[in-house]
Amino acid sequence: MQLSLSKILGLVAILVAAVTLSACGGLLPKTSSLRAQQSLKQSTVSKLAGIGSSPGEAMMIRLFKQSSELEVWKRTKSGQFKLFETYQVCAYSGVLGPKVAEGDRQAPEGFYNITPGLMNPRSNYYLAFNTGFPNKFDRAWARTGSELMVHGDCSSRGCYSMTDEGIAEIYALARESFAGGNAVVQMQIFPFRMTPKNLAQNSANPNLPFWQDIKEGYDRFELSKTPPSWDVCEKKYVFDLKSPDGTPLDPVATCPARSGDTLLAAVTAKAAADDAQYRIEVAAIADRDAKAAAKKQAEADAEAAAKARGQAVGGFISGLFGGGSAQASEPPASDPVKIAPTPFPAPSWV
């Protein structure tokens, strides 16, 4: 079916208006079918150039639940990634810890690969992309859940919600990265920044072993500023580890021997230093908590003693002024009170 010239011109006008609006910093309404095609603002493109990157370069997302931060990192001319922007996460549901089962209202944690097929330009929210939950690790643990998104509209029931302006830019950055020939955008989701202090503050959390597992991926990125490759074996995340024949690892089988890992020495040294600091932090927290408990107990004991003294004094005063029943305070007539003589003090020479 051929379109009339007027319809063609109308479509062109709409597209030009959308591009112009986006380039000038405006945001297309949620009702617009072109919202997923909005161009990056010129200020965004200039900022990318300022860190030695461009829209088509590789991209990585890092998200921290506790501080509600989503970071976008872009590969630069040096081959390493630099932080491009930090966006505030508007809302997420649940508490610190991974998603386990459908309906638990938990937002996922772990390592995920965002692919073009996970982008949702027609989301019921402003825009959205799927995290890819459950991934290989989640399936190894029989974890269930679906439609775990990063989306707009600033509300969440198991997803990560952004402002519409935020998701529009993040979506466009990912779209342009795919257009530049990059197959995936790695997304790393952590409960908090994986420092010894933060881990120590959550040492009693049952998710600690899982967090210590994904910490290696965090450390590898911190050291190299390049996203580590990840896989699963022995039902745990492993990083920069490949099978001898290059095939994907069996998620429940024994992990293969590690070889040719140029980052291993640095990762091992960092892990040892962090573990030592973690133990110091845990001991300090235990000492602080013990002192706080002792202080609380001392205050409770002092309060109880003061209350007992108050009751004793009150009883004494009540007795002096005829407190209590007449029967208790007056002796029977048949049993007169015998008053003992007052003794004199003994002489000083005795």
Which of 24, 90, 151, 154 is the catalytic position? 151
Residue 233 designated active-site: no
Cβ–Cβ < 8 Å for 87, 162: yes
C-alpha to C-alpha distance for 282 and 277, rounded to whole angstroms: 9
Torsion-angle region of residue 181: left (phi > 0), alpha (psi -120 to 50) or beta?
A: left
Secondary structure of 216-275 in HEC code, one letter for each residue:
HHHHHHHHHCCCCCEEEECCEEEECCCCCCCCCCCCCCCCCCCCCCCCHHHHHHHHHHHH
Which of 24, 154, 159, 233 is the catalytic position? 159
- Among 210, 212, 71, 202, residue whose Cα is nearest residue 137: 210
How many CA atoms does the CB half-sphere of 50 hold within 13 Å? 9
- Among 38, 85, 91, residue whose Cα is nearest residue 62: 85
> What SS3 class is residue 57?
coil
Residue 159 designated active-site: yes
Residues with catalytic function: 151, 159
